[in-house]
A and B are shown apart, each in its own frame.
Chain A
Amino acid sequence: MSADMFFMPAPERHFILKALQNRSFLIGLVITAAIALMALISLFWTPYDITRLQVAARMQGLSLSHPFGTDHLGRDILSMIMIGARNSIAVALVAVGIGFGIGVPLGALAAARGGWIDDALMRLNDVVFAFPALISAVMITAVFGPGAVNAIIAIGIFNIPVFARVARAGALSLWPREFVLAARAAGKGRVLITLEHILPNIMSLLLVQATIQFALGVLAEAGLSYLGLGAQPPMPSWGRMLFDAQTRIAVAPHLALFPGLAIVITVLGLNLLGDGLRDVLDPRLRHER
């Protein structure tokens, strides 16, 4: 995807209306909002208290009282999925925040200054890029022991070069444009031009990337907590629930079904949201569909 082609179009009065007419965007928005709402509700209320273990009611199938059944300790799966959503969203959101907050200024700076600063920053990017989130998480856990913060740090670090690259590529294609030259002829400096012209125009690129990284973050968090490198028991997480379900797959497959579906639906929703956003924001594709 070349950056040059999709900058934020001029704000239109009917922009939101247009976005809501996009099927991907609408479905993605509804799913994402539903998951977020579920996570929010879990802060105040869940169908059952998951800290109370009821071994007598363990591994129950689907029923009216436990719509998704119970796990090997008798905890309500629905309640655990609701709390797990909280964990997933929190980890992915903070990790995107880290990547965005550090990566975008670095990328914009590299594009604005060019020369050796650009070279140095991009080499640094390459180095960080050589550490996939899982490898960072392995190192951190080996030294500090497991925990949810590890996952946030590892995923966040991996997001930095991603955002830096997107921001730099977008900014680089804007700098030679005539409206930026006009701003320079109006005596504005690089910082001011970056704030006034560059960042607003690459915001759509960054927004789309943020939803993609959010989705990847949810997946990565699930993977890390599955391996025991993320959130620790008794805090429920979707990945951990799948790990617990694995040995019981022959007897109670529903234990593996629902947490997995929760992950798929969340990631799908975010990806649809990102796709829809891209369609709405990319003036070229908009005409084609």
Chain B
Amino acid sequence: MSLIEIRDLRLSIGDVPILRGVDLDIAPGKVMGLVGESGSGKSMTALALMRLLPRGARVSGRITFDGMDILTAPEAAMCRLRGRHIGMVFQEPMTALNPLKTIGEQVAEGIRWHTGANRADAEARARAMLERVGLPENRFPLTRYPHELSGGQRQRVVIAIACALKPKLLIADEPTTALDVVLQAQILQLLRDLVDENRMSLLLISHDLAVVAEMADRITVMRHGEVMETGGAVRVLAEQAHPYTRQLARASTHVPARPKQAVRTAEKPLLEVENVSRDYALRRQSIFSRRRTFRAVDGVSFSLATGESVALVGRSGCGKSTLARVILALDSPTSGAIRFMGEDIGARAKDALRPVRRNMQVVFQDPYGSFDPRHKAERLVAEPLYLLDEKLDRRRRREMVAEALTQVGLSPADMDKYPHEFSGGQRQRLSIARAIITRPRLIIADEPVSALDVSIRAQILDLFADLNARLGIAYLFITHDLTVARAICDRALVMHEGRIVEAGPTEMVLQTPRSEPARALVETAPDLERILEKRIVAS
């Protein structure tokens, strides 16, 4: 008998249908993976299970949990259920905890509420639970506040809250999406252990097929509010019988076709970074103590040849984005030198940077925050033309914008649209168009595909590869995702705690990592094919 039985679940918010007849079963003690791209309705399915839907949502259908009809149960009964029999872990650990309450209070609160335990007992149980999720009291006392913990630690607190009463069902909604791969592996391991120990069922929601392949017994693939396919996780992902499953799987392992680049070592390097460091002043502990500094980038040196594509890989907080800002001259190095096309960037005055900036452009992660919402595409894409010495007339400017848009696969007619009229993937094309309009020699891309759905991601990677081949643009790809590095980079640099700990051809770094941080990254990176092989062999 199933623990959870969802039948013909339909949900709409206003006039917009979100779920169109979802069926889902979870057996006791089993892990169900729920996969889909953004807008597929997977999170709404979870919220409907908890009956924590947003205002104005209308639901129909039936959800049975352990014999109880969830959609018609009185609110008081739902309160007894939530936290006691169904626990939930959310995507964003940074905002999931009340900033004004200690972690001890937040874990103990649910225990006290459901069991009526007194403060001391509840705290003892909270202490044990926090210890279990890897936050032992000697290092993380109950009196800590959320802002004193890192993202991974906060996610552990959220898991402690969800699992404190050993619920029958744990729902984890993209629990590791906001974390880097190493933390992701740790959190997934923790979830798996907790599920095994307490014989919980787990509903694991993810956009990442590899994560689900690793964790789930069964899998349900959703798209546009409908279930595409459901079945044994290994079978569904190995056979890829359903066209949409196949499409997702292919996109997530997609490697763009690239002509082999002749390595041009003979030429002078395009970019040379020499022993660059960047310090930040830390907040003073008291007025009297000396101001301490934090070294975000620590003596980094590397070079990049014309037309070369280099990945800068590392965990979150390793200093890779700071390094990118320093190279872009948006931030100045504390020490060291950066030479671009033979010229020292740091030594130049602001105005003298114009020729440098013209040849070095940037693409950011967030396709939504990258554009001023009040300007039309024409003006946005044309912004770097400000760097040209000659002032262009309107006709010439429109020609150049049209050409850039065509290069990235958009239509020249798009230049009269506002950013909100484009989809996420189109916006990333737009930001690439902005980056190539001055015909730069180098583009620095800071996590350019990590906010995109897999199928869109594959298209954007193709575009990067294509522009590299056609226009000879060199890339510095900043990413925590090894599959991106593997897809389009000739060389990879691994960064850890401000330093570059390993460098070499991408395949070599990925196949035979020599340093400890590189090994951790490679081993924890979810790889669909490898996981499936492993699981098929195991069964």
Contact = CB atoms under 8 A, between A and B. Distances in A.
Touching chains A and B, CB distance < 8 Å? yes
A186 B387 contact: yes
A185 B386 contact: no
Given A9-B373, A178-B364, A179-B371, A186 B386 contact: yes
Contacts, number: 64
A186 B418 contact: no
Interface in B255-281: none
Given A7-B373, A178-B370, A185-B362, 13 more contacts: A10-B374, A10-B420, A177-B369, A178-B364, A178-B369, A181-B362, A182-B434, A186-B357, A186-B386, A186-B387, A187-B387, A188-B386, A201-B373
Contacts of B151: none
A186 to B, nearest CB: 4
Interface string A244-275: 00000000000000000000000000000000
B137 interface: no
Give the 10 A-B CB pairs with smallest separation, nearest first: A10-B418, A178-B364, A186-B384, A178-B369, A10-B373, A178-B370, A186-B383, A179-B372, A187-B357, A187-B387
A250 B357 CA distance: 77
A181 B361 CA distance: 11
Contact of A197 (B372, B419, B434): B372
A26 interface: no
A185 B328 contact: yes
B481 to A, nearest CB: 19
Contacts of B24: none
B112 interface: no
Nearest to A198: B372
Contacts of B357: 185-187
Main secondary structure of the interface of A (DSSP, over half): helix
A179 B374 CA distance: 11
Interface of A: 7-11, 177-179, 181-189, 196-197, 200-201, 288
Interface in B360-390: 361-362, 364-366, 369-374, 383-384, 386-387
B362 A182 contact: yes
Contacts of A197: 372
Interface string B507-529: 00000000000000000000000
Nearest to A8: B374
Interface residues of B, number: 28
11 contacts: A7-B373, A8-B373, A10-B419, A178-B365, A178-B370, A179-B370, A182-B383, A185-B328, A185-B361, A187-B358, A201-B374
A200 B376 CA distance: 14
A166 B372 CA distance: 20
Given A10-B418, A185-B328, A185-B362, A200 B386 contact: no
Interface string B433-468: 010000000000000000000000000000000000
A220 to B, nearest CB: 33
A256 B92 CA distance: 57
A181 B365 CA distance: 12
Contacts of B353: 187
A114 B353 CA distance: 22
A200 B387 CA distance: 22
A188 B350 CA distance: 10
A288 B14 CA distance: 10
B416 to A, nearest CB: 12
Nearest to A176: B369
B369 to A, nearest CB: 4
Nearest to B55: A288
Contacts of A189: 350
Contacts of B349: none
Contacts of A178: 364-366, 369-370
A180 to B, nearest CB: 8
B223 interface: no
Residue from the set A177, A182, A188 with the largest chain B CB neighbour count within 10 Å? A182
B192 interface: no
